[in-house]
Structure 1
Amino acid sequence: MSHLPRLLKITSVAAKYRLHQLSPLTARSWVIRSVMAIVGLPWTGNAARHLSPEQRLRTALEELGPIYIKFGQLLSTRRDFLPHALADELQSLQDRVPGFTSPAITTIVETALESPWQNHFNHINPEALASASIAQVHEATLLSGEHVVIKVLRPGINETIRQDIVVLKWLARLIERYVPDGRRLRPREVIADYEHVILGELNLMAEGANTTLLRRNFEHSPLLYVPRVYWDVSRDGMLVTERINGIPVSDVVQLQAKQVDLRKLAETGVEIFFTQVFEHSFFHADMHPGNIFVDPADPQNPRYIAIDCAIIGSLSNEDQQYLARNLLAIFKRDYRKVAELHVECGWVPKTTKVVEFEAAMRTVCEPIFEKPLKDISFGYLLIQLFRTAGRFNMEVQPSLVLLQKTLLNVEGLGRQLYPELDLWQTALPFLERWNRRRMKPSFLWRELKNNAPDWVEQFPHLPQLVLNSLNQHEKVQTLSDTLQTVIDQQRQLEKRRRRRSRRLLTLLVVAGLLFVFLYFTQ
């Protein structure tokens, strides 16, 4: 078991910080208590045991490494679910993870550029500006005088992550086999999705490309600013981008000191999210507070600044359209429409009974809608809908899962800024405008013009395509005739076999009767 050393490390850290005491489920298990007591003997007098439970969890996640830090980052955005003390402690994982000093940043730069760093930079700060789970960044100045940041991966991070993924997959199998309802939790699917996301963060060139496209999408927008990428000095394992100046979105005290309209800021965040999803079909999917800053130059119309575009989501035109129509139907409590759309777009099997699906959706949604809209978590409702669809064999849609996670982040962040945020009030007008635009003749004409070149290109090949289709039909018909002939032959053989069986049975009966007759006449 190549993952055994890493598994022992995880158990050791959990015992060191007494993490089993944080969960009532594990705290009541005498087996877990006994194992942790034995494994934790070397740290009996460790000072970490005197930390608060929140500090113990945060420190343990830091010691375990990037995958566990990432988990803490996700938790820190959900202040509506977590105790405030725990959310405050986990928030430090966003950009205050202990950094590395070896090898030196100048050594990494020179190795990547294959030349002395002075050939490209006037100055590189050896101290990290910020350090996160996968990488850290350093301030620098180009020869042109432009202020930039250099993002570099942590040494050995690839191997650490791959070892952790192996351990998590092994644990997922154990959960499925031995934990009650383990299969229903689908832990292996969860780990596979997480593996795809976190391995994607190791490709800094892909992150640079994502950043460039996101910048282009919002190039003239007052809502969001995305820093420039300096491709001439970026390499595999090293990304150089524009140095931005802004207030961390989590620093509410400083935002208030700058008289930033927090309600406007929270609503703008929701508008940015829906613009990315439905206008661009390309959305920043890692919108935790460590990646989001605010430009307070215009306090009444504050502008967001987004960094770290390693995780990006995208929807197909079909998924985009069906998602918008589903959300509009949910807003209007038209559960029959929701059920029909799920079947129509293939999210659930075509054989699904719409009436049963509609009833299941109504059962989930109606109790939620009894609350005032501003008190309803949009992200939580989406989770409940996906779970309900899962009972009807809805296939896992990776793009929708990523969208769901991002929406949870956006909603958690928005309510952290402005607790009275009514995401529904912001989202509904946006979706209605988007739907109306798609019905306008100008939009339809634009779609026709966009598709016309493809149609013109295919037109000369149309006769050949028709002939190919006819030939294919003939081949299918020939195959069908052949199969029918084989079936007929099989039927004939079956009839002959039955006739032979009947003859044999008759012969056996006659022989038996003859034997009995001869036996009794002797």
Structure 2
Amino acid sequence: MRRSFRGAFIIWVILRYGLDELVLNSFRQPWLTRIASVIAFGRRLDAPRGQRLREALERLGPIFVKFGQVLSTRRDLLPADIADELARLQDRVPPFDPAIAIATIERAFRRPVGSIFASFEREPVASASIAQVHFATLLDRQGRTREVAVKVLRPGMLPVIDNDLGLMRTMAGWVERLSADAKRLKPREVVAEFDKYLHDELDLLREAANAAQLRRNMGGLDLVLIPEMYWDWCHSEVIVMERMHGVPISQIERLRQAGVDLRQLARDGVTIFFTQVFRDGFFHADMHPGNIQVSLEPATFGRYISLDFGIIGTLTEFDKDYLAQNFTAFFRRDYKRVAELHLESGWVPPGTRVDELESAIRAVCEPYFDRPLREISLGMVLMRLFQTSRRFHVEIQPQLVLLQKTLLNIEGLGRELDPELDLWATAKPFLERWMLEQVGPQRLLDELRDQAPRYAKLLPDLPRLLHEYLRRRPDTDRQDLELLLLEQRRTNRLLQTILAVGLGFALGLAATQFASWVRFFH
């Protein structure tokens, strides 16, 4: 009954804002266009279609607003005017009753709030669709106090989310059946990704673990501050973390007056992003201005402060390698290599001509090089690339949706901080250095070191296992296997040689170091 009522409300909103007419007009079939004209008769639909869609999603509630935010990154799926309008979506959710927040905290920790916190601010400082945040002062076991932020999950979210996601899956299925192009765009997989992100956000312990991992990863970079999690007071519905003091990054004039180097801040943002993506494969994927501040404290002046770790993107080694090679080829204007990478990855049909794909990519990207960021819209570049991809039947990869969203966030931040920032020139040295680390001699040594224990255990048993196998196989196979055994013995000798050379190299370094010490002390 509840789902049918929600479904009826959604249908009413669709009709109220003319989304039915918007959808039907997006198809090329003349009969669908005529139907759209008929059902639009008598309704006043004066506002632009993108505005109508944004307002409808806001009317449907926080889950649809969040879905619109994710959808705004899929410029392969949406026209530019709609994508731009959806990019304006922000959570406009009123806070829930502080008494409910206090009750949630007391239920989670089975203690009165007064025995946990020396003080607790009832009025929240931030409220979003999933949770809200209160400032407090935490009492530790030694009786000392520390300033903290307490994030409390909004009550009753799981049934609402599951209900709305079920409806979204149904609508995605309709879109796939109606549109010939929808199979390539994978709307059901987009909803599945959205499902995963939302359910991850509902577990605040997962968010705390994400923050701890990012804090560890970024520890040596000295460019970004991430709050410490106080694990004694972390629960799936409540997390307590270090309170951060900073200025929202959107307050540009205040940062400028404080003496922050905005140009360096813009470059640091690019460095943080590419480090998280290509070095760690673990990146903050909700980097809108509300989640980013800048420290003005003397010890950490000018550093970023990251907040809200409910949405984290991850990449496999294959994804990282593929993306890094693509970026590097783009920066070198090696469009043939970009086309070859699309073929090698299986993202385009095997019969695609490399020269035609290369020419199409060149036509999209070449006009944008050597321009300051104020003259470049990454959204526009991506949109044109996706238009090209449709022509060549490129398979869109849903696991990269978050990366695309974050890249657009970085573009927006860079444009605000330093309109002259050259994103390509800033990122190119980082990516080239990263690629060298992936294929250079150090990577080989690291792989040998990591795999050595495994091979040390397997190699002594390999001759015996091969010998037993030979005894059980007919003579026709024995000759090939004996050749394999001979090759394995040669490999053993090669490994022994490598180890001997490495040992000799290490002893040589030690002797050199010892000699330098002797000279120093004499």
In which range does the TM-score fall when normalised by the shorter chain? 0.7 to 0.9
Give me the whole-angstrom Cα distance separating, in 2, the residues matched to 1:376 and 1:150: 40
For 1:260, what is the secondary structure of its paired residue? coil
Partner of 2:101: 105
For 1:162, what is the secondary structure of its paired residue? helix
Give me the whole-angstrom Cα distance separating, in 1, the residues matched to 2:357 and 2:188: 26
TM-score by length of 2: 0.75
AA at the equivalent of 2:257? A
Partner of 1:33: 40
TM-score by length of 1: 0.75
Contact 2:200 2:311 in 1 (8 A): yes
Give me the whole-angstrom Cα distance separating, in 2, the residues matched to 1:22 and 1:123: 52
Q: Is the aligned partner of 1:6 residue 2:6? A: yes
Partner of 2:205: 205
Contact 1:264 1:301 in 2 (8 A): no
For 1:141, what is the secondary structure of its paired residue? strand
Contact 1:153 1:238 in 2 (8 A): yes
AA at the equivalent of 2:40? R
RMSD: 4.0
Give me the whole-angstrom Cα distance separating, in 2, the residues matched to 1:395 and 1:21: 28
Contact 2:207 2:310 in 1 (8 A): yes
Partner of 1:511: none
Q: Larger Rg: 1 or 2?
A: 1
Q: Is the aligned partner of 1:338 residue 2:332? A: no
Give me the whole-angstrom Cα distance separating, in 2, the residues matched to 1:114 and 1:472: 66
Find the partner of 1:362 among 352, 356, 359: 359
Q: Please list the CA deviations of residues 97-125 of structure 1 after superposition, one character each: whole Å capped at 9, or x if unmatched.
A: 31111752211001111222223222222
Q: Does the C-alpha gap of structure 1 residues 220 and 372 become closer, same or farther in structure 2, counting only changes over 3 Å?
A: closer
CA positional deviation for 1:229: 0.6
CA positional deviation for 1:328: 1.2
Partner of 2:237: 237
Give me the whole-angstrom Cα distance separating, in 2, the residues matched to 1:433 and 1:298: 32
Q: Does the C-alpha gap of structure 1 residues 368 and 52 become closer, same or farther in structure 2, counting only changes over 3 Å?
A: closer
Q: Does the C-alpha gap of structure 1 residues 86 and 309 become closer, same or farther in structure 2, counting only changes over 3 Å?
A: same
Give me the whole-angstrom Cα distance separating, in 2, the residues matched to 1:23 and 1:394: 23
Query: Where in structure 2 are the equivalents of 1:366-377 lying within 5 Å?
Result: 366-374=363-371, 375-377=375-377
Partner of 1:68: 64
Partner of 2:126: 130
Query: Where in structure 2 are the equivalents of 1:332-481 lying within 5 Å?
Result: 332-344=332-344, 346-348=345-347, 352-353=350-351, 356-374=353-371, 375-378=375-378, 381=381, 385=385, 396-463=396-463, 466=466
Contact 1:200 1:311 in 2 (8 A): yes
CA positional deviation for 1:62: 4.4
Partner of 1:319: 319
Contact 1:151 1:240 in 2 (8 A): yes
AA at the equivalent of 2:358? M
Give me the whole-angstrom Cα distance separating, in 2, the residues matched to 1:256 and 1:31: 55
Q: Does the C-alpha gap of structure 1 residues 181 and 392 become closer, same or farther in structure 2, counting only changes over 3 Å?
A: closer
Structure 1 gap segments, 5+ residues each: 41-48, 478-522
Q: Does the C-alpha gap of structure 1 residues 181 and 232 become closer, same or farther in structure 2, counting only changes over 3 Å?
A: same
Contact 1:282 1:313 in 2 (8 A): yes
Query: Where in structure 2 are the equivalents of 1:231-270 lying within 5 Å?
Result: 231-270=231-270
AA at the equivalent of 2:109? L
Partner of 1:157: 157
For 2:232, what is the secondary structure of its paired residue? helix
For 1:97, what is the secondary structure of its paired residue? coil
Give me the whole-angstrom Cα distance separating, in 1, the residues matched to 2:395 and 2:471: 35
Structure 2 gap segments, 5+ residues each: 27-32, 75-79, 478-522
Partner of 1:293: 293
CA positional deviation for 1:436: 2.9
CA positional deviation for 1:284: 0.9
Give me the whole-angstrom Cα distance separating, in 1, the residues matched to 2:277 and 2:309: 15
Identity %: 43
The answer to which of 424-433 and 326-335 deviates more is 326-335
CA positional deviation for 1:465: 5.8
The count of aligned residue pairs is: 457
